[in-house]
Structure 1
């Protein structure tokens, strides 16, 4: 949740350009935490497993997960399903952040336990606003459970 007093956001997105834009948008939204990236749902679960083991070189435990739906190997919905079916991870807030606005994707995401569903904005300024709102709400307003 915190490393060196800083909140951690873990983003699962396979698109290099989107990862760069998300980092820039969070920085532009004055996010003063740690941003970690994985490229697919399999890496997301491996990351969480490494946090759980608590080894000295373990990655920082995230306070918030931002997950794209359309990823290779293990897609966002399957990763969400695994996270929410695990007693160790189900408490983590998962925000689906994707290009999709399909009703089926929205419904299935919430049915599987997503905390929010956000369609990626088109412009960078809208992305900054979205990142500001997400971090303000999830890392400032709500009370999150202690991690692992």
Structure 2
């Protein structure tokens, strides 16, 4: 059983849901997490519809964190964010928007829809890996989440 980096105590693996239609970015996220000393179970969805299906219909444990891209087909990140944060059962799950967009309106709209954080995807490989690891370290290493001692 893995240990919690902040306390050294035994804890269950962290579940992450990555909602992104770019398979290259998903692979980079997987690579960034593989370098960590925290046990992760990574789940992926290519759009908001598949992600909602996972959250509502899956027998899997709810994710501890959702990494969300904004620009996807069918149901985009804004629509997904609005849906999740309007559902009292899903609302507590932290959502970090991880998008290539640097448009102020996208940032403001994401926070208005109750995103927990907005991070711009770096273009540089090393910066991308470092950014994902910083998000991971903060949300799954520093922050106390329900179900983790």
Partner of 2:29: 22
Q: Deviations over 1:6-43 (max 9, x none)?
A: 10110000011111111112213444211110000011
Kindly state the Cα deviation for residue 146 of structure 1 after the two structures are TM-superposed. 4.4
Q: What's the Cα RMSD here?
A: 1.7
Partner of 2:6: none
Partner of 2:5: none
Kindly state the Cα deviation for residue 141 of structure 1 after the two structures are TM-superposed. 1.1
Asked if structure 2 preserves the Cα contact closer than 8 Å seen for 1:67 and 1:95, the reply is: yes
Partner of 1:55: none
Give the aligned length.
Answer: 138
| TM-score normalised by L of structure 1 | 0.87
Partner of 2:111: 110
Q: Deviations over 1:60-117 (max 9, x none)?
A: 3200000000000000000000000001100010000011010000000000000000
Unaligned 5+ residue runs, structure 1?
52-57
Asked if structure 2 preserves the Cα contact closer than 8 Å seen for 1:91 and 1:145, the reply is: no
The answer to which of 126-135 and 138-147 deviates more is 138-147
Unaligned 5+ residue runs, structure 2?
1-10
Partner of 2:61: 60
Kindly state the Cα deviation for residue 145 of structure 1 after the two structures are TM-superposed. 3.0
SS in 1 for 2:14: strand
| TM-score normalised by L of structure 2 | 0.86
- In structure 1, distance between residues paired with 2:21 and 2:137: 25
- Mapping for residues 1-148 of structure 1, pairs under 5 Å: 5-51=12-58, 58-146=59-147
- In structure 1, distance between residues paired with 2:53 and 2:22: 19
SS in 1 for 2:89: coil
